[in-house]
A = this chain, B = another copy of it.
């Protein structure tokens, strides 16, 4: 039996947003490894072992996956969204680089998924329809000074901005500082989207001017998207449409 690792993206939540490529890999896997709420999305079946672990143990989880694959097992490492976007793919390659030489011969594939910012953008309209950036607001693995520098430069470049991991119980204050910096750079009228739990039954979207955004509007299940200077709203009887035109002039 020849082992492999598929680092697979489950998308934002709905089954209709899981690619057939990922579904096929999950059907062939002997082991599924991931953070507890993501593994909970995988149906149990005979011959499949589920390994659910807590957050913040990404390197241990990656090493476990590599060890199992080296033993000949077919391992799906699952992330929500896209595994290549602030998720398990980089963690797995960090473990691979630091591990035994034999791991480099393993069959390892990254299977992309629908990442949170595009699921959120699609629900709101097309706020990421022109040049944009994606920034992880967690300062667990980078200094806050770098986050602040990136926020200011991104604003000066007039990117639309998508923010992952805006706020958690262990980092209650960073998002307030981020909002303050963004107001300094972009003013109070720029539209901002808070999109929580997109594609799940708890989905909730709100769009408001940056000056009215409050830190407690975001948690770890919230995707935050700030428009560029060109981003605009189309008002209608239902929820408005938030979009960035293709033209920058």
Chain A residues at the B interface, C-beta cutoff of 8 Å? 11, 14-21, 24, 58, 82-87, 89-91, 93-94, 96-97, 104-105, 108-115, 118-119, 121-123, 125-126, 128-136, 141-143, 146, 149-150, 153-154, 156-159, 232, 234-237, 241, 243-249
Residue numbers in B under 8 Å from A20 (CB-CB): 15-18, 20
Pairs A-B, 6 closest by C-beta atoms:
A90-B129, A142-B248, A89-B126, A133-B133, A104-B236, A110-B122
Contact A133 B136 (CB under 8 A): no
Contact A130 B125 (CB under 8 A): no
Residue numbers in B under 8 Å from A134 (CB-CB): 131-133
Label chain A's interface by main secondary structure: mixed
Contact A18 B17 (CB under 8 A): no
Residue numbers in B under 8 Å from A133 (CB-CB): 131-134, 154, 157, 159
Contact B16 A125 (CB under 8 A): no
